[in-house]
Amino acid sequence: MAEISTSRSLAPVRAPMLRPEVILPRNLSVPLPDHIIAASEEMRELVSVVRVVAPTSITVLITGESGTGKEVFAELIHDLSGRKGPFVTVNCGAIPEGLIESELFGHEKGSFTGAVGQRKGFFEAAQGGTLFLDEIGEMPLALQVKLLRVLETGKFTRVGSTMLTTTDARIIAATNRDLEHDVRAGTFRSDLYYRLRAVMLRIPPLRNRREDIPFLIETMLDEFVRKHHIVDASGKPQMPQLTPDATQLLIDHEWHGNIRELRNTLEQLVVLVCSVARSDNACTIARRDVERALASSIGDLWGGDGVGHDGTAYDGTAYDGIAYDARANRPLPAAPRAAPKEQTERELIYRALLELRNEIAEIKSMLHEGRAPAYGATHSTALALPPSSSTNGERTIRPLETIETEALEQALTHYKGNRRHAARALGISERTLYRKLKEKGLE
């Protein structure tokens, strides 16, 4: 599909008005739910494929960046399939490696310590319905073999049992990882990958389908107004009005956190701007309000590292009046100005978040490139990899195993044993960190 360019030619849209020239495809044979927005060409093509595959039992693999709505599309496939059973979601990255087999396939009484009774797994819970395996790329290799057998035969055994159990649950998997890369790296089985991707749906990032943003804004604002009971003097829901430049800012934003980031931003705007009683009985969201919301959400929605999925960092941008240079890892000088105490405190918090974000970005860069920090003695060097020794002018190549072990040790030391922060800095999941520590005897 062709990538949609940044659309500055879009006319500013004042929510909740829809542009009349764009007609959402809801007049088809099976109407779309209100929360599925498909105004862009890419999304229309995606929905058309969903309509074709939904009534079948074919396995579907959904890929896309975090926050693009992979689970929403999995639910849509289930809803349009006509299956009578439930839609069951399993986050493969959130279940400890030692328990995931029991969670998927169930277990018999006494099969392991703590198994006080027979328990059905997710495959049985999804009988007659759909089993959605989210973050499938985090599934351990040993379990991938058993999952492949279930996909091919429709049969499995509970942990501690020898009896075969049959399932007719339809399998939909999703990941934000590059599974083709994982297959080449040997961390994901090629036979399972090709079995899962009988049909593969790629959810485009929000920045590639900016035509959808005005409709998403309208839908989400209406949801949050009702959720947070934003009403006018007569008690009726009070829909906010966006100024044209506020709307355009939302359309032009890169949205590296995709739909999730947009939802969080709009909910914050509704609560902070519209929940306050106003004398004019109206709620108008201005560009300044949007700028504040975007600045305050950067650390959370970008994973705290300040680097987007395309590898770019925020650079020379002002957030709530603070000009920031990402490459120099420090706020730029600004003219002194008087500010209320609350605003000063808020700016200090923004500064701290932005500095932390860039420190983590620098740490990740050092770990990947094996270099020392470039910004002087004031920056932490705890995670800088030691330089390779040289003999006769030739660099000695150090074993990858040694470098990885040192990186793990240094990350844990830097974060004082906090494994969640260490895993984030190393660019791996927390469960992967635990596994690597166990393999290397660093627990």
Q: How far apart are CA 421 and CA 359, in angstroms?
A: 12
**Segment 235-245, tens digit of pLDDT:** 888 889 999 99
The predicted structure's pLDDT at residue 358: 62
> What number of other Cβ atoms are within 10 A of residue 379's Cβ?
17
DSSP 267-284: HHHHHHHHSS--TTS--E
> Would you list the domain boundaries of the chain?
41-203, 310-383, 386-439
CATH class given for the domain over 41-203: alpha beta
Q: What is the pLDDT of residues 108-130, one digit of tens each?
A: 887 777 777 788 899 999 999 99
Q: Cβ(49)–Cβ(201) under 8 Å?
A: yes
Which one has a higher pLDDT value, 154 or 386?
154
Identify which has the larger pLDDT, 82 or 26: 82
Residue 25 has pLDDT above 80, yes or no: no
**Sign of the four-CA dihedral 226, 230, 232, 238:** negative
Helices (H), 306-379: 341-369
Identify which of 263, 268, 309, 269 has the alpha carbon closest to the alpha carbon of residue 287: 269
> What is the per-residue pLDDT for 360?
73
- Please measure the distance between the N-terminal and C-terminal CA atoms of the chain and give it in whole angstroms: 46
Q: Spell out the residues 6+ positions from residue 373 whose beta carbon is closer than 8 angstroms to its own.
A: 362, 366, 379, 380, 381, 384
- The per-residue b/e assignment along 78-108, b for 16 or more CB within 10 angstroms, e otherwise, is bbbbebebebbbbebbebebeebbbbbbbbb
The CATH code of the domain at 386-439 is 1.10.10.60
Exposed, middle or buried, 399 (CB in 10 Å: 0-12/13-18/19+)?
exposed
pLDDT of residue 376: 39
Angle at 228 between CA 223 and CA 230, to 5 degrees: 90
Task: Give the list of residues 6+ apart from residue 41 with CB closer than 8 angstroms, or none.
Answer: 1, 2, 4
**Residues β-bridged to residue 90:** 133
Q: Kindly state the DSSP code that residue 128 receives in the 8-state scheme.
A: T
Confidence at residue 370, expressed as pLDDT on a 0 to 100 scale? 60
Residue 17, pLDDT > 70, answer no
Query: Residue 364: what pLDDT?
Result: 67
**Per-residue pLDDT reduced to its tens digit, 27-69:** 444 456 667 888 888 898 999 999 999 999 999 999 999 999 9
As a whole number of angstroms, the distance between CA 154 and CA 56 comes to: 16
Q: Would you state the pLDDT for residue 266?
A: 94
Which H or E element spans position 67? Answer: none
| Confidence at 132, pLDDT banded by 50, 70, 90 | very high
pTM: 0.62
What mean pLDDT, rounded, does the chain reach?
76
d(CA 353, CA 401) in angstroms, rounded, equals 33
